[in-house]
A and B are shown apart, each in its own frame.
Chain A
Amino acid sequence: MLGYNGYLHARDVTTQFGEPVLLLAALASAALIIASFFYLWKGEKKSFEHIKKIQRANLALLILGFLILVWFHMKINQNIELVNLMTGEALGSYYVPLWIESEKMYFWVMWIGVFVYLLNRKGPTVFAAVSNLSFGLSVLITNFYSSPFKDPLPIFHGEISIWYTLIEQGNSPGAWNYTGQLFGKMAYFYNSTYMWVHPPLLFIAYASLVITFLGSVFMLKSKEISIDKIAYDHAKFGYILLTFGFLIGYPWAVTAWGDAQWWWDPKVSGSLMMWMFYTAYLHSYLYVNRTGMRRVTAVIGIMCFLSLVFTYLLTYISAGVHAYG
């Protein structure tokens, strides 16, 4: 039936192979958390070697899981083709981005793993151990609350399944109308170039800014300039991607949503708030050596991250043009 069975088979395979991979990554994360605690307790440089090895294995498993998702998305492209049911004309195949629905969190966490891996290469520090611990926790959260393998792409799956059901029932007018809706979403959302550029830039930025957050927390307690520098370097890198990612979304938003409707939408306001806070952080860091500014900068750095998490969650907790469901 127009590739539906092939798609369903690919979806099952994704769950069959993906879930054990993520479970292994979760187990590795539990080991990473224990090893990080052990290092923080004993402070033995030798034990940091174990952290590095476990973290590498964990990251490799996440990359393997990501490759399974790539395969699944390729299968969607090969199997599902929207067709004009009246004329039989092909309307196009899906190019579903790899960072939507439950895959968002996974992609973000995988990139946190990349930044923690790079941090580990700089040598054993308390800060690196805390970063590994945070990475381990984020993998566990992903495994329990946002696994992309448990029910792959539930919204997309629901949409496609309704379409096939309508076709199977021979409900031509309903299927015809629904095809129009699906085609609109395919053209402006799934297959849009913007969706292949805007979200990944933001998630890579978010991952980099996790390190800035941890550095800001450290900044409140310790006065280690090296950690401040790490936090600032990650903020700069994240900020470039964040800004470019936001801006690249603008022309698309104007085309897809028109002018007024999406202005001051919660996600847009949240993104603006986050960008303003990070801009404030970068400016205040310029005078970090002045009396009291280290603490102020650290507090702003923490505010930045809270606004980031809040903005991320807005998609799920608030209405608006970015809302899911």
Chain B
Amino acid sequence: MRMGKTFGYDYTLIIATVAILLAIGIISLYGIGYYHNAGEENPSWTQGPKHTEYLEMMNKYTSPTVVALLIVLGLCIPKRVVPRDVLKRISWALVGVTAMLYFIRGITWALGVMLMLAIAVQTASLVLTLLKRGRLVYEKEGYLVQLGSAMLHLGVIILIFDVALLRGHAQHISIFWVAMILVTLGMFLSFYGRTDPRKWLPAIKS
């Protein structure tokens, strides 16, 4: 995909991310309306098969947006440590493998493989960031901010993987806590990693 001069790679990715996030929000809003209306028609509808159909419908509607989000994440965060051309190729390969698996083994397999590959890419990105390897721009963003961003996005993908595919697994909650620590710590570093810690201390009068 060729980016226009006025847009640029990073900006286009951000616009795509915002659009996908808003789309998930709107699907959720649709779900609220559906749930509410079904409850108005039959207050005990959650006990019957219609509720299962509703859950399946919502999962079906959100799956493509989750896949799109994973692709954008795969293109966005590792771009700091991996050349863009390589990333684009990896992403297209990811889409191809996922599409193939979807037709052969179904959505669960496709999503599972995609999530595992995304975790691998984000973990590599985090390790490279940690080791200060690759094309990092410390002067512009700061080491802690980039580290936080890598942790946050890895945490989000692990979270999706855990909640979407590992429910009922013995390690489900343990993996959830790992993801939660990554997300929270990553978020804190991303937002406040550039802040001078002296700002938080009370002013000392000389």
A-to-B contact residues, CB < 8 Å:
236, 239-240, 243-244, 247-248, 250-251, 254, 259-261, 263-266, 269-270, 272-274, 276-277, 279-280, 283-284, 286-287, 290, 300, 307, 314, 318-320
Which one of B14, B22, B29, B173 contacts A254 once the chains associate, using CB atoms below 8 Å? Answer: B173
**A283 vs B77: C-alpha distance when bound (angstroms):** 13
**A261 vs B177: C-alpha distance when bound (angstroms):** 22
Tell me how many residue pairs across A and B have CB atoms closer than 8 Å: 101
19 new A-B contacts at CB < 8 Å, known A240-B184, A263-B58, A320-B35: A236-B192, A247-B180, A247-B183, A247-B184, A264-B54, A264-B55, A269-B28, A269-B31, A270-B28, A273-B29, A274-B25, A276-B21, A284-B14, A286-B14, A287-B11, A300-B22, A318-B35, A318-B36, A319-B36
Say whether B188 faces chain A, with CB atoms less than 8 Å apart.
Answer: yes
Say whether B119 faces chain A, with CB atoms less than 8 Å apart.
Answer: no
**A239 vs B186: C-alpha distance when bound (angstroms):** 13
Interface contact B21-A279, CB-CB below 8 Å: yes
Interface contact A270-B183, CB-CB below 8 Å: no
Known: A254-B173, A269-B29. Contact between A244 and B184, CB under 8 A?
A: yes
- A272: B residues at CB distance < 8 A: 24-25, 28
Interface contact B22-A277, CB-CB below 8 Å: yes
Interface of chain B, main secondary structure: helix
Say whether B32 faces chain A, with CB atoms less than 8 Å apart.
Answer: yes
Interface contact A260-B173, CB-CB below 8 Å: no
Name which residue of chain B comes closest to A282, CB basis: B191
- B9: A residues at CB distance < 8 A: none
Interface contact B35-A251, CB-CB below 8 Å: no
Interface contact B173-A276, CB-CB below 8 Å: no
B: contact size bracket: 35 or more
Residues B1-58 near A (CB distance < 8 A) = 11, 14, 17-18, 21-22, 24-26, 28-29, 31-32, 35-36, 39, 43, 46, 52, 54-55, 58
Interface contact B187-A264, CB-CB below 8 Å: no
B-to-A contact residues, CB < 8 Å:
11, 14, 17-18, 21-22, 24-26, 28-29, 31-32, 35-36, 39, 43, 46, 52, 54-55, 58, 159, 163, 167-168, 172-173, 176-177, 180, 183-184, 187-188, 191-192
Interface of chain A, main secondary structure: helix
- A244: B residues at CB distance < 8 A: 180, 184
Interface contact A287-B14, CB-CB below 8 Å: yes
**A219 vs B176: C-alpha distance when bound (angstroms):** 37
Known: A254-B173, A263-B55, A264-B55. Contact between A273 and B25, CB under 8 A?
A: yes
**A149 vs B24: C-alpha distance when bound (angstroms):** 40
Which one of B14, B28, B43 contacts A283 once the chains associate, using CB atoms below 8 Å? Answer: B14
Interface contact A269-B21, CB-CB below 8 Å: no
Known: A260-B55, A261-B46. Contact between A318 and B22, CB under 8 A?
A: no
Known: A264-B58, A279-B21, A319-B43. Contact between A269 and B14, CB under 8 A?
A: no
By CB atoms of chain A within 10 A, which of B18, B26, B173, B176 has the most? B18
